[in-house]
Homo-oligomer: A and B are copies of this chain.
Amino acid sequence: MKQDNRLRNDCFAMPRGVSWTPVDKAIEQLKRGLSNIKGTEVVSTTDGMGRILASSVCALSSNPPYTNSAVDGYGFCGPTKTQVSKLKVIPGVAAAGAPFVGKIPKGSALRILTGAVLPEGVDTVLLEEDIDQIDNFSITFEVFLNTGANTRKSGEDVLKGEQIFAKGHKLRPQDLALLVATGNLTLNVFCHLKVGIFSTGNELLDAHTTSFEQLEFSRIFDSNRPMLLSLIANWGFEVFDFGIINDDVNATRDSLNKASKSVDAIITSGGASAGDEDYVSRLIKSEGQLENWRIAIKPGRPLALGLWKGIPIFGLPGNPVAALVCSLIFVKPSLGLLAGCNWIKPQSYLVPSGFDKEKKIGRREYLRARLLADGDAEIFPSEGSGRISSLSWSTGLLELMDNEDKISKGDMVKYIPYSSF
C-alpha cells in the first residue's frame, strides 16, 4: 500500500525569538513536526526482524493451542486423593505431533511425552521421576497431584483474539516467536525507510576508494560517513551512500535532487553551520526550506533541519563526536517517527559518578562515559569534540540535565549505554 503522507513545509520551524533552544524543546518540535511517511507491505513473519508493525496484531490461535503435557510421564484423570495411588497402564503412548486416539478410562494411565495433546479422559500428568513402581500393567506412586498438574492449559499464555502487539512496535527476535506461536505467519508492516547519507567538504577523501598513500597534506579521510552508514543501517533503516560532495553549489544541488528522488530522508554532515563554506545550508535555505537550530547542547549545537522537494534533511555538524551525539539524540527517534514508530526515548540508568565536574547551567551535556568494575561512571579526560578516540573509548553517554551545575563524586548520574539507542 502506498501512502502520501507528506511533511508540512514548516515541520522544523522553531517558535520565533528563541536563541538557544533547550534539548527538550527541540525534541518537542521534532515530535510535533514529523510523522510516518511510509506505505505498508505484507511480509512473512519469519522475515519480520526489525520491521515496524503497521497495524496492531491479535492472536489467531491460543498459545498453547491445546492443553498438553509439560513433562514426560503418565497421563490420567486427577486428582489423586489417597496417599498411595496405583493406576492401570493402557498400552500405547501420546507424543508431541502423534496424539493418542482413544479414551483413557478412570483409574488408568497412558504414557505421555512433553508437548503431547492430553488424550480424552486425561487431565493430569504424573512426572516420570515420581513413579515408585512400574511394570507392564501398572504404576504406583506416592505424590499428591491436583487436577491439571504438569499440564499446560490451552490459552494459558495467550487467548485467541487477544491483542499481542500495538501498531508501531518494532519487532525483536522473541516477538517473532510469539507471532508464530499465535498463528500470525504474515504481517502488515511499514515499508523500509530509505535514508541517504552524504558528507560535504573539499578536504575529505573517500576511505573506501582511496589508499593511505593518497592522503595529502591538508586533507583528511571522511570518517563520518562510514560511521553514519553503519549506525543507521544498524538501526534497521535502508541506507544509501551518496558519497562526498565538494563545496560547490551545483554539485550539492545535483546530489540533493538525485537523493530526493530515491530516499525518504537525507543525512548530511559538515556544512551545516553558517560559515563561508557552508554551501549546503545556504543552498537549502535559498531553494528549499531550512531551519538552523542552535541547540543548548554540548557537544552538538548547530543542527540544520530542512526539506528539499518535500524530503526531510538532517544536517549534522562535521565533527564526528557532535555528529554521533546529535544522531543518537535527535536523528534516530526522528527517523523512527518517519518510519512508523512512536518517539523512542533511550533507556537510561542511574549510576554513581566517579568524578567531580562543574557545568554551565542552561545547557544539556552528553559526556562520553564508561562504567568501571564497581559500577561507577568514568568520563573521558578531554571533552574536545575532535576527540574521535573518546567515542571508541566509551560505552555510552552521561546525560547532564540543563539545570545541573555541579556533579560530585558519588552523585547519581544518568547513563545511557550506546546499546540503548
Query: Is A403 interfacial (CB 8 A cutoff)?
Result: no
Among listed A23-31, A113-121, A280-288, interface-contacting one: A113-121
Beyond A46-B208, A391-B174, is A221–B181 a contact (Cβ under 8 Å)?
yes
Listed in ascending order, the chain A residues whose CB lies under 8 Å from chain B are 44-46, 48-50, 60-61, 63-66, 70, 72, 93, 95-99, 113-117, 152, 156-158, 164-165, 172-178, 180-181, 183, 185, 201-204, 207-208, 210-212, 215, 217-231, 233-234, 247, 273, 275-277, 318, 320, 324, 347, 349-351, 371, 375, 384, 386-392, 395, 417-420
A362 to B405 alpha-carbon distance, docked (Å): 46
Cβ-defined contact, B392 with A95, below 8 A: no
Cβ-defined contact, A389 with B158, below 8 A: yes
Cβ-defined contact, B223 with A210, below 8 A: no
Closest B residue to A390 by beta carbon equals B157
Cβ-defined contact, A386 with B222, below 8 A: no
Cβ-defined contact, B388 with A178, below 8 A: yes
Beyond A217-B66, A223-B180, A228-B173, is A95–B45 a contact (Cβ under 8 Å)?
no
Indicate which residue in B63, B202, B224, B275 contacts A177 across the interface (CB closer than 8 Å). Answer: B224
In the assembled complex, which residues on chain B have CB atoms less than 8 Å from the CB atom of A96? 201-203, 218, 277
Beyond A72-B275, A221-B183, is A177–B391 a contact (Cβ under 8 Å)?
yes
**A267 smallest CB distance to B (angstroms):** 13
Beyond A173-B234, A420-B419, is A178–B223 a contact (Cβ under 8 Å)?
yes
A212 to B61 alpha-carbon distance, docked (Å): 9
In the assembled complex, which residues on chain B have CB atoms less than 8 Å from the CB atom of A349? 349, 351
**A373 smallest CB distance to B (angstroms):** 11
